[in-house]
Amino acid sequence: MPVHRPSRTEAESRRKAVLFCPDCDHESDIEGDWNVHDEDDRRVYDCPDCGTTITTRPRATPLLTP
Ligand SMILES: [Zn+2]
């Protein structure tokens, strides 16, 4: 097996998920250091530097129902 290293395809696919803060230009992966919290049925991404809400996205439909 060759030495493991990220493929270009993998890097490209991850790049699509990068978010940018419009206020302070903080940038991070969607799974990076954003302050993520849930509001109702949404997931909210806030900037860790300035607190600006970057984006909200609908929470994934729970697979487990009580
Ligand atoms: Zn910011």
Q: What sections of 1-66 are H helices per DSSP?
A: 8-15
Distance 29 CA to ligand 1 centre (A): 14
Distance 46 CA to ligand 1 centre (A): 8
Segment 19-59, tens digit of pLDDT = 999 999 999 999 999 999 999 989 999 999 999 999 999 97
CA distance readout (Å), 42 to 13, 24, 46, 61: 24, 24, 13, 10
At residue 65, the pLDDT reads 62
Distance 16 CA to ligand 1 centre (A): 19
Question: Which three-class secondary structure state does DSSP give residue 9?
Answer: helix
Q: Is the pTM of this model over 0.75?
A: no
Q: List the chain domain ranges.
A: 33-66
Distance 44 CA to ligand 1 centre (A): 14
**Rounded distance between C-alpha atoms, residue 41 and residue 27, angstroms:** 25
